[in-house]
Amino acid sequence: MIEVENLKKIYRLGDTKVRALDGVSLQIQDGEMVAIVGPSGSGKSTLMAILGCLDTPTKGTYRMDGQPMEKLSDNQLAAIRSRKIGFVFQQFNLLPRTSALENVMLPLSYNGVKGKTRQEKARAALEVVGLSDRSRHHPNQLSGGEQQRVAIARALVNEPSILLADEPTGNLDTHTGADIIRIFQNLNRERGQTVVYVTHDSFIARHTNRIIKIEDGKIVGDERVENPFEAGVPRLDDVLAPAHQGEGKAGRVL
């Protein structure tokens, strides 16, 4: 469980101060699937970096599973990060001259997992994202969607308590984005994996159970989604509406 209270992040550049986060308080329970939305520059990535222990706040408190983060040293934070947090980036961030399997094995090496177990766990994680047949491929031999799936496998391999993703579909077309959201939905429903992702797309946000809106570093909305959309399943309204309007194009399928 994540609890943050009155988080502030202030960047100083010369004489100017940027309030990237301006008093954010929120709780995310285990097993939730949450979207964070908001305009460019509103503080979404700043918040994700703090939640992912990649950065620290200027002020405020952050507890993960009851443990206060602000008292931890950099080394302790790094340890929490590698054990409890899986992070997925918009740009995939895979090591280029390394196979998919080795990319996924990497976080296990940091945690001291031995060779054979490392391989087994990495193979299992690649299987979860449907990429068993691409384990020897290097990133430049994979499509964007496949690279993102490797990145998700890498994020999952240590069985994190929370999976954080900053615009995970931002570099992908709609159809490929759907595959990624489908994986998140499956992980959330079948394994109870807590998932939080940032998106600027309100349609993609509707595939979660909760949408948090951020503007100017503040939370301005926090709503439950009654009937989340199913990734990959066309919605009747979408399929029918354009035909009625004579547009003749297929409905949006995600």
Ligand X SMILES: Nc1ncnc2c1ncn2[C@@H]1O[C@H](COP(=O)(O)OP(=O)(O)OP(=O)(O)O)[C@@H](O)[C@H]1O
**Chain residues in the site for ligand X (CB under 6 A):** 11, 13, 18, 20, 38, 40-46, 200
Among ligand X, Mg ion, none, the one that 60 touches (CB under a kind-dependent 5 to 8 A) is: none
Task: Return the number of other C-beta atoms located less than 10 Å from residue 35's C-beta.
Answer: 25
Q: Give me the least distance between CB of 137 and ligand X, in Å please.
A: 29
Identity of the residue, 45 or 193, whose beta carbon is nearer to Mg ion in the bound complex: 45
Among Mg ion, ligand X, none, the one that 99 touches (CB under a kind-dependent 5 to 8 A) is: none
CA distances from 173 to 55, 130, 161 (A): 30, 18, 29
Among Mg ion, ligand X, none, the one that 46 touches (CB under a kind-dependent 5 to 8 A) is: ligand X
Looking at 29-116, which runs of residues are DSSP E strands? Answer: 33-37, 59-64, 67-68, 85-88
Residue with tokens 């502030």: 8
Count of residues near Mg ion by CB under 5 A: 1
| 169 touches Mg ion by CB under 5 A | no
Among ligand X, Mg ion, none, the one that 192 touches (CB under a kind-dependent 5 to 8 A) is: none
Residues 39-78 that bind Mg ion (CB under 5 A): 45
Identity of the residue, 38 or 139, whose beta carbon is nearer to Mg ion in the bound complex: 38
- Tell me the pairing of strands 162-166 and 85-88: parallel
The residue at minimum Cβ distance from Mg ion is 45
Which strand (E) or helix (H) includes residue 10?
strand 2-13
Q: What angle do CA 125, 126, 131 make, to 5 degrees?
A: 160
